[in-house]
Structure 1
C-alpha cells in the first residue's frame, strides 16, 4: 500500500456527541461542515443521526445538498452562509434551511422561496456573519411572521473561558433575542463548556465531536499510519532532503514515508514533528516535501512497515502545536489520497 491509512473511529465521535449532549441542557445538533472536519460528513452524520441528532450544520448549500443525499429525508440541514445568489434551487430541492445573515439575504429568500423555512444569524460581537442589532430590529417583525426555525449567533472566544468577550456576547445575544418565539442557539463546543447560561435551546458541537480542543475529555477519533517506502543508511555529516536542512550527527538510519504536504502534513512541521513506532518516538528528519517524509529510525531495533503521526501518543492538538497551528487545521487538511477505514460504521 503506497498511501497512508487514515482510521476514523465513528464510535468515538458518537461517544463525544453523547457526552456533549449530556453536558448541554438543551437539544444538541452537530456541525459537519468541511466534510465532517475532514472525517467524512456522510459517515459522521449518518452515525450521529442513529444516535439521535436531528439538526446538522454545514457551511454552504453545496455541502448541504451532498449531506441530504447521505441522510435522506427528515433531519434538518442548516446552512451557515445563508441564502447566497444561485442557491435557491439547492435550498428548495434539498430541503435546506439557510441561516439568513443580512437584510439582503432575507429579501432574496422571501422573494424566491416565501414559504420555505429559514433561520436567522445575528452578530453578537464577532463581526463576521449575521445581522447587527439595528438590522435585526428593522426586519425582526417580518421575519418572525414567517416560517422561522432558529435564531443563532456564534462566540468568538469560547475556547478561552475567562475572556470578557464571552459574557459580552451572551448579554448582547440575550438582549437581541428577548421575546423571540423561535428556538435560540449560541454555543458550539466551547460554548457548551462555558455552562448552562450559554446553552439556550440548541447547541451545535463541532470540533469536540472529532476529538479536538477545547473539549479535553473527548475520545480521540483519528489515527494516521504512514507506510515506509524505503530505508537507507546516512553517514555522519551527510544531509537529508530539500535544502539539506537535516545533517546527520551520527550514523543514521532514515525511513522515507509516503505522505507530505499534499496530504495535509504542513511544511512548517519540517524537522520538528515526531512519528511513532508503537510507543517509541522517531524524529522527522528534514523538510516535509509534497509526497514524502524522512524520519530518523536509528534507535528502533526493528523497522516497522509504517509509522504513526496521529495516534494515542500524539493527537491532533499535539501535532498542531508542533506545526504552529490548531487542531481544526490538522483535521480539515487531511488529504484525499489516504485510504480510509471507519470503525463503528
Structure 2
C-alpha cells in the first residue's frame, strides 16, 4: 500500500455499492439464482475484496476466466460454486479438482479430456457445457450440441453468451434466444444460463435458472443510452503536483498537439497511462479528450496524457480554486466509468481493468 501522503493518486472502492448492485440485479430476476462474474480480478477491483462482499450479500456462484482466478475465489469463499469460463486447460484437470472448480467445456475435445480425467481419478466435480448461439467465440455449435446431446455426460449447467444484449433491438438477440431455447430443451433438467448484465434488462424474461452479471456489479451501465441504474463503485482522484501558466501560442505536452489560444493555467497531476488513465483520453487542438473535476468544475485534459503526469486546463477557474497538493477527480460523481471510457474511445470495462498499482488504494463498505 502506497501511503496517501506519497501517492500521486488515490483509488476508492466501495464494497457496499458492489453488494447493493448485486442485490438490485437479483431483484430484476427474482426466480433464477443470481451469480457474479469476477474474472480479471473482479474487473480490476480485487477478488480478495469483492468476493467476500458479494458472498455476504447472498451470491453463491462465481465466474472467472482462468483456474488461477478460481483458486483466489475459493480462498475468499470456501463454499461457493466456481465456474472457469475459458474452459479446461489442456492436461491440467488436477488444477480444477484441487480447488473444486468447474470448467465451462466448449468443445468435444474438452469434454472427452474432462471425462477421461474424472474416470482416471474418480473426481466427481461438476462442469458446464457452453453452446455458441451467435458469438462465434467459444462453445459447441448449436447443431453440434443438438446432435450429440443424448451421448454427452451430465453437466451441472448449460450456458451461452449474448453478443449484443447492450443493443436491445439488435436482431441477433432474437436469434440467440431462440437457439438457446433449443439447447435447453435438448438438455432437460440441466440448469441453464444466458443473461449477462445487459441481458437482465432485455424486454423478455430470460433469466432461465441462473443469471451472471459482471460489469453492472462494478457500476457500469447495462443500459447504454439510458440513465445508469447501478450505483457507482470507484472513485479516482489525482494529486496536483504543480500549477503552471503558459503564454498564448505555447504548447502543452508531448508532440505539441495542444496549443494555448490565450494565456492559460494548468494543473499538473500525478497520474498517467502507467496508472491506467488511458492515453487515448488525450486532447489535441482538434479533439477534446478526458475530463477532470477540479474544485467541483469540469475541466479538460490538455495535451497528451503521459506515463506519470497529466495536464488539466484550469484557466477558467479562479486563481485560488486549485493549489499544489489539492485533489482532482478523474472518475466519480458525474464522471462514471462509461463516460470516461467514451471520451477515450473505449468502454468502461477497459477503464476498470486498466487501473494500475501505484495508487493509494482505499476499500470502504466491507
TM-score tier, shorter chain, comes to: over 0.9
Aligned 1:63-212 pairs, distance under 5 A: 63-71=69-77, 73-114=78-119, 115-144=124-153, 146=154, 148-178=155-185, 179-212=187-220
Distance 1:194 1:324 in 2: 25
Question: What is the SS of the residue equivalent to 1:197?
Answer: coil
Does the Cα contact within 8 Å between 2:130 and 2:159 map onto a contact in 1? Answer: yes
Q: Which moved more, 1:29-38 or 1:245-254?
A: 245-254
Structure 2 distance, partners of 1:191, 1:278, is: 38
1:329 aligns with 2:350: yes
Secondary structure of the residue that 2:132 maps to in structure 1? coil
State yes or no: 1:240 paired with 2:249. no
Separation (CA, whole Å) in 1 of partners of 2:27 and 2:175: 26
Distance 1:100 1:139 in 2: 14
- In the TM superposition, what are the counterparts of 1:268-307 in structure 2 within 5 Å? 268-271=280-283, 272-301=289-318, 302-304=321-323, 305-307=326-328
1:255 matches 2:267: yes
Displacement of 1:100 in angstroms is 0.5
Structure 2 unaligned residues grouped into runs of 5+: 1-5, 284-288
**Most deviating of 271-280 and 149-158:** 271-280
Please state how far the C-alpha of 1:138 moved relative to its aligned partner.
4.4
- The alignment partner of 2:152 has SS state of helix
Question: Which 5+ residue runs of structure 1 have no aligned equivalent?
Answer: none
In the TM superposition, residue 45 of structure 1 has moved relative to its aligned partner by 1.0
Q: Which shifted more, 214-223 or 149-158?
A: 214-223
In structure 2, C-alpha distance between the alignment counterparts of 1:198 and 1:278, rounded to whole Å? 45
Aligned partners of 1:26, 1:70: CA distance in 2, in Å?
24
- Distance in 2 of aligned mates of 1:18 and 1:334: 25
Q: How many residues align?
A: 342
Look up the match of 1:3.
Answer: 8
Q: Write the deviation string for residues 25-73 of structure 1: whole angstroms up to 9, x where unpaired.
A: 31100001111111112211110000110000011111111221222x2
Deviating more after overlay: 330-339 vs 73-82: 330-339
TM-score calculated relative to the size of structure 1:
0.95
State the distance in 1 between where 2:169 and 2:133 align: 18
SS of the residue 1:231 aligns to:
strand
- SS for the counterpart of 1:177 is helix
Paired with 1:194 and 1:258, the residues of 2 have a C-alpha distance of 41
Note the alpha carbon deviations across 1:6-37, whole angstroms, 9 max, x for none: 11111111111101100013110000111111
Conserved? CA contact 1:5–1:338, under 8 Å:
yes
1:61 aligns to 2:67 (yes or no): yes
